[in-house]
Amino acid sequence: MKRGEHITLDIERLNAKGDGVGVCDGREVVVPRAVPGDRALVYLRRKRKGRFEGVVDDLIEPGVERIDPACVHFGVCGGCRWQDIEYDDQLKIKESLVHRLVAEQDLTAGSWRPILPSPQQNFYRNKMEFSFGSGPDGVPQLGLHMRGRYNRVFDLETCWLQSEVSNRIVDSVRSHATRLKLPVYDLRSHEGLLRFLVVRDAKRTGEVMVNLVVSSYPHDGVDDLLASVFEDLGRQITSCIVTKHSGLAQVAIGEEEFHIRGDGHMWERCGDIEYAISSRSFFQTNTLAAERLYETVCELAGDLTQSDVLDLYAGTGGMSLHLAQHARSVIGVESVSEAVVDARRNAERNEIGNCRFVSALAEDLLADATAEERRYDLVVVDPPRAGLHKKVIQGILDLGPDRFLYVSCNAESLAQDLAEFVSGGYEIQVAQPVDLFPHTPHCEVITSLIRTPSWQR
């Protein structure tokens, strides 16, 4: 078996990233977009660290039925992986992946609840980050990254993930950038201007925030570009920010922010709570599904009337403020100071007086809490994809709350962390997957744990 060959492969499972995996001649072959049960003619595209990566040339026998994807960019775009699979089948595949990753750590949950679907399968995202690239003759491109090519962008016509207005903003920015001959930032020479366009589109309030990330500002060309975009979109853009980012890192955050329209944030409603979200702050990207997530977190938290809750990784207070409506008190802990400012503003706006936000690293706060022997009836964590820092796991085990909720967007890191809690004396009572990311292999999982008699400080 070697690179460039075709093989017939049976896909046996998904890896943690959601790619299909089969075995041929004793070697693993990873095939993006293939799913268990597929038998396919696979072209071996490359070999890395003894493992082959292939692409499906011909689907001989599908594991699940395939449908025509709505999006013209499907296959090229690095965004959606499963647009050609019925949503019900996507849910089944995700659910079994989550179950398997947890079982692989020798863990069992008291009960697994069926996955909760996303209320919307298309146009569900409230945030998209578009990248600029250079086409032939340096003409600006604006769109998403090509699958597996982190330095290649394709021109986006229509994306099915955010909204119609977001597609029009992309189109308007690209056409005026071309007309004004504005240069795109070049990753190798580090010259040029245009870097990213971030569109936030609030699903419940209709507010739209545009954040243009450029290498230099003030800049007349950027002002002309935005004036033309405002002419095209009118007041549909409710807030606009220019972020100056002259550093080398390819990220859509920078050293200075200029408020061109509005005062730097957008309002969104999730459940009955209103949230201010500014450019650097985290907010769940699927507002409608986040309502289900928060509702379920509150339900699994149980009766909180006499409870003091510690919510680690609080973002703009998404979960903390929902929990505070039921609890005696909540402390939300977040490392990004702008998000903490938003969270405090959100508590005030919604007149939630029993919720306080602390700007700190979760690991530092836990070290102080343990040293001062503070008590919390419930600890909630919702870390980034990488999962919990070792010190956070140890900190929670030292604190020893009776009840503990772990919310995760990455079942692989969740399962690894849960294994530590189980060997530290906790038991998984309930696990509930919630889909916030249709057309991708990802979902959120809420797990509810209780302390058992085997726990020791």
Ligand X SMILES: C[S@@+](CC[C@H](N)C(=O)[O-])C[C@H]1O[C@@H](n2cnc3c(N)ncnc32)[C@H](O)[C@@H]1O
The residues assigned a catalytic role are 409
Contacts (CB under 6 A) with ligand X, residues 345-364: 361-362
Nearer to ligand X, 185 or 313 (CB): 313
Count CA atoms within 13 Å of residue 176 on its CB side.
19
Near ligand X by CB under 6 A: residue from 158, 175, 178, 335: 335
> Could you tell me the smallest distance in angstroms from the CB atom of residue 378 to ligand X?
14
Nearer to ligand X, 20 or 387 (CB): 387
Near ligand X by CB under 6 A: residue from 282, 376, 406, 426: 282
Does position 395 interact with ligand X (CB under 6 A)? The reply is no
Does position 384 interact with ligand X (CB under 6 A)? The reply is yes
Nearer to ligand X, 83 or 281 (CB): 281
Count CA atoms within 13 Å of residue 155 on its CB side.
13
Q: Near ligand X by CB under 6 A, which window of 219-227, 248-256, 261-269, 281-289? A: 281-289
Closest CA to 315 of 290, 342, 289, 353: 342
Task: Give 289's contacts (C-beta < 8 A, 6+ positions apart).
Answer: 116, 118, 119, 120, 124, 434, 435, 436
Near ligand X by CB under 6 A: residue from 29, 64, 336, 430: 336
Does position 390 interact with ligand X (CB under 6 A)? The reply is no
> Could you tell me the smallest distance in angstroms from the CB atom of residue 318 to ligand X?
3
Contacts (CB under 6 A) with ligand X, residues 309-328: 313-315, 318-319
The β-bridge partners of 39 are 10, 61
Contacts (CB under 6 A) with ligand X, residues 103-162: none
Which ranges in 251-312 belong to alpha helices (H)?
Answer: 287-301
Does position 53 interact with ligand X (CB under 6 A)? The reply is no
Pairing assessment for the beta strands 329-334 and 355-359 based on DSSP bridges: parallel
Measure Cα distances from 159 to 167, 204, 268, 286, 288 in Å. Answer: 7, 20, 21, 15, 19
State yes or no: cis peptide before 218, omega within 30 of 0.
yes
Determine the size of the site formed for ligand X (CB under 6 A).
Answer: 18
For residue 338, what is the enclosing H or E element? Answer: helix 337-349
Nearer to ligand X, 14 or 297 (CB): 297
Does position 438 interact with ligand X (CB under 6 A)? The reply is no
Pairing assessment for the beta strands 194-201 and 149-155 based on DSSP bridges: unpaired
The binding site for ligand X (CB under 6 A) comprises 282-284, 313-315, 318-319, 333-336, 339, 361-362, 382-384
